Amino acid sequence: MPEPAFDRAFVAPRAVVDGAERSCVVAVRDGRIAAVLDLDGAAEPVAAREVVELAEGEVLLPGLVDTHVHINEPGRTEWEGFDTGTRAAAAGGVTTVIDMPLNSIPATTAVDALARKRAAAGEQAHVDVGFWGGAVPGNVGDLEGLHEAGVFGFKCFLIDSGVPEFPPLDEGGLTTAMVETARLGALLIAHCEDAAVIAAAPGPEGPSYARYLRSRPSAAEDRAIARLLAAARATGGRAHVVHLSSADSLAQLRAARADGIDVTVETCPHYLAITAEAIDDGATQFKCAPPIREAGNCEQLWQAVLEGEIGMIVSDHSPSTAELKCLDSGDFAAAWGGIASLELGLPVVWSAARARGAALAEVVRWMATAPADRVGLTAKGRIAVGADADLVVFDPDAEFVVNPNELHQRNKVSAYAGCRLSGVVRQTWLRGERVDLTGGARLGRVIERGGQA
């Protein structure tokens, strides 16, 4: 008998392909999608070594691409590491993560630090892992080497980052860095909050969430974004605003794009699913920076997502130990600012999106295709011939209640504890092989911009 034409075939009465749901058979050969065939029009079964038939109600999605993840290994592996972080990613349908250049030690601001990161990922990764480089004062001479080594771009802070090894860029430093990233054709991504505005605001003392919110006003975000846009306009550089929480900045971002500035923006599940009014005093599991804002702001962010002004939704998975979250004291001034949501991003966003009438295909665009495209991963985030066979079997109607102790992240602190969410990831496949979270082989690889390391 002749050899089967394909290694594996996924029979999907529902699949998200080319921005819409359709029925199809996705055929895989050598880790890539070799054919996307019409399910109803097939004259005979597809010849494959294994056939995976989706159950009623399940939908085949491309693996999500999360370009904003803090793994923290080496140096702060007790916060999160490549094993637990990528395991959480796979459990949440994320098949590619791009790791931020901080909070690991050393920060990824030079080629030798990047090499240490890649070595730490090594054979631990359950999903594919790429890396951002860092732009900090004094390292402009390192950016070319990092770029040539395959980082996906450069992250900077315009305010204190919270860790001493990753200081912020002042206005001159931002321009200097963007001159270099423009020369390289690299993307500069920025945490945008303005230190002077925050210094003039009341401090975040004690357990009051309202006081913490006032300590980081939207004006701080808006002014820093204006600085980033001015630098991009002056240099011709490519820019990206991370974790937008202030809807007030949408107008200036819209105007900048109309002027031809190459700028994109992301937001995060917590800004779209949680509102300030719902956060109790002392509930430091909700602390992040910029902060979660009021319900009206949340709805404006949603409108911008639905209308395409905000093109990407990524996690900003920023875990720490439970002790650093100061859950006992509830002190927002002392607590680490970060929300861990890598495993829950898809059901959180889907639950909120479907309540607003959005289709699952739109969620795929926000969380898979658009992030992949912005960082140049054209073989990720889509079900298409030639793409990596990174696939997710998702049940959009199944519901579950979040139990932090059941999550795969290292520290079991979650802003979504007790929430009832829609959407369960049944299976995750990486390059046509099923990811086994119970102790099987690690399938993830270290990837670099434009190819595989």
Separation CA 64–CA 60 (nearest Å)? 12
Strand 154-157 and strand 187-191: pairing? parallel
Q: Please indicate, yes or no, if residue 15 is contained in any of the structural domains.
A: no
- Structural domain total, the chain: 1
Separation CA 51–CA 89 (nearest Å)? 25
Separation CA 357–CA 360 (nearest Å)? 10
Which residue segment(s) compose the domain that 191 sits in?
A: 62-380+397-420
By the 8 A CB rule, do 162 and 337 touch? yes
Q: Please indicate, yes or no, if residue 305 is contained in any of the structural domains.
A: yes
Q: Please indicate, yes or no, if residue 177 is contained in any of the structural domains.
A: yes
Separation CA 112–CA 104 (nearest Å)? 13
Separation CA 189–CA 374 (nearest Å)? 11
Domain CATH number, residue 309: 3.20.20.140
CA angle (113, 115, 117) in 5-degree steps: 70
Q: Please indicate, yes or no, if residue 26 is contained in any of the structural domains.
A: no
What does each of the 453 residues of the chain score in pLDDT, given as a tens digit?
Answer: 567 889 999 999 999 999 999 999 999 999 999 999 998 765 567 889 999 999 999 999 999 999 999 999 999 999 999 999 999 999 999 999 999 999 999 999 999 999 999 999 988 999 999 999 999 999 999 999 999 999 999 999 999 999 999 999 999 999 999 999 999 999 999 999 999 999 999 999 899 999 999 999 999 999 999 999 999 999 999 999 999 999 999 999 999 999 999 999 999 999 999 999 999 999 999 999 999 999 999 999 999 999 999 999 999 999 999 999 999 999 999 999 999 999 999 999 999 999 999 999 999 999 999 999 999 999 999 999 999 999 999 999 999 999 999 999 999 999 999 999 999 999 999 999 999 998 888 999 999 998 654
**Buried b or exposed e, range 90-117, using 16+ CB within 10 angstroms:** bbbbbbbbbbbbbbbbbbbbbbebbebb
Separation CA 154–CA 163 (nearest Å)? 17
Q: Please indicate, yes or no, if residue 387 is contained in any of the structural domains.
A: no
